[in-house]
Structure 1
Amino acid sequence: MSCNSDDDDIPQLSIETFAVLQEFYKEQEERELMRKNVDSDTNIQENWQLSQFWYDHETIEKLTSIILKSVGHQGKIALISCPSIYPMLASKIGENGEVEIYEYDRRFSIYGNNFKFYDYNKPLEVPENRTSYYDLVIADPPFLSEECLSKTADTIKCIARNKIILCTGAVMAPIAEKLLNLKKTDFEPRHKNNLANEFGCFTNFDINVM
């Protein structure tokens, strides 16, 4: 008579396979949590002391459309100092796409690993594995000054692989061209709370074909 019980016939997972499954389920849970955070109305208000001015809905829709048509739903995208785009863009990106926020305001850490603390005064303090990583970088420097744009440009040049979108005051056009070779487009971003300054959208690619 065999001493083996019926349980011996049940297939057993190897330690390696079990570890892979655990990692898979962990990633699924994190992705689901991320989607819940995106889908929920977190209602993070502008902090004017941080020079935060959120885009209006139409501008967010337009920028999201430009970005996705430009790099596709599997693209790698970085948002520098423009977090109000994130919820809509993250909800529409594909399963293999990436949208990451570079932001000084730690309230946006609700987005987990997709949040990267960013201080424009330390422009090259970015993760080493993000050098020349993103298919598209979109930035909206918090202050209308050559210093702020220059430091933000250093970050952009460090992490961007290809396409760049810059949203900033129209008066910054000469500096945007000098630092990043960006041209002003016909699209004018608008904000929930109207700003007195004329705003512009600058790129290194043609958004009119988007």
Structure 2
Amino acid sequence: MDNDNITLPADTLAILNEFLAERTQREHEEEQRMINKTGKDAHFEEDWQLSQFWYSEKTKQDIGGAVAKIVEEHNASDFRIALLSCPSLYATVKDVHEQVNIFEYDQRFAAYGTDFVHYDFNEVSADYLVEYHKCYDLIIADPPFLSEECMTKMSRIILSLQRNSASKVVFCSGEVVEPWLLACLPLHKCEFRPEHERNLGNEFVSYANFNFDHYIVNK
């Protein structure tokens, strides 16, 4: 018997194709669910060419705990969080709140599905990312470069993403950017100092437009 010549009836073939399509969809949904639930940043290596440096576990937990308190305090189902250029925070923040977007230039993080937003801080047009304008209640940013140009451009994006004047902003960066940053955004330096898995030469600090230290448990 020549197995190569066996064909299935059309109705049976249709049922089989439908079953295979549904199985593929279930597998995709399960994979996406696991991504959304636990994150997979541990599988992504830092790309030094993109100036990526992952936060230490303690820093991630400190920020995650602060975010949980802020979300609980607002008690709003439509509370939205934007993470700009800090992908190592994604899994931690996602664990405490569902409505989070990770804005990243690195396309690898498209693995986070609809939570991922590709962006380039060098884009300066007024309508850039317009579909996300005035959408976020909390914005956490860690610009990739310690330059005046980067601070200026990132600040413009942050201002466009804030839902309103009450939106909270946390900005983590090297202390050397302070004059440029504070000229662009109404922030103040916090006591909280983010740490990284690797020791970096620059002194890193945090800035915010509210009392961020109040929400940090382990100061």
Range into which the TM-score falls when normalised by the shorter chain: 0.7 to 0.9
Q: Which residue of 1 aligns with 2:10?
A: none
Letter in 1 for 2:106: D
- CA distance in 1 between counterparts of 2:210 and 2:86 reads 20
Moved more, 173-182 or 138-147: 173-182
- CA distance in 2 between counterparts of 1:208 and 1:190 reads 15
Q: Which residue of 1 aligns with 2:199?
A: 194
Letter in 2 for 1:84: S
- CA distance in 2 between counterparts of 1:205 and 1:58 reads 22
Distance change >3 Å, CA 113–CA 206, structure 1 → 2: same
Distance change >3 Å, CA 126–CA 112, structure 1 → 2: farther
1:54-203 map, 5 Å: 54-72=54-72, 74=77, 75-93=79-97, 97-124=98-125, 126-161=128-163, 162-203=167-208
The structural deviation recorded for 1:123 is 4.5
Task: Provide structure 2 residue ranges, at least 5 long, that are not aligned to the other structure.
Answer: 1-24
The structural deviation recorded for 1:68 is 2.3
TM-score between both structures, scaled by the size of structure 2: 0.76
Task: Provide structure 1 residue ranges, at least 5 long, that are not aligned to the other structure.
Answer: 1-25
- CA distance in 2 between counterparts of 1:123 and 1:138 reads 20
Letter in 1 for 2:109: F
Letter in 1 for 2:33: R
Structural RMSD (CA): 1.9
The structural deviation recorded for 1:160 is 1.3
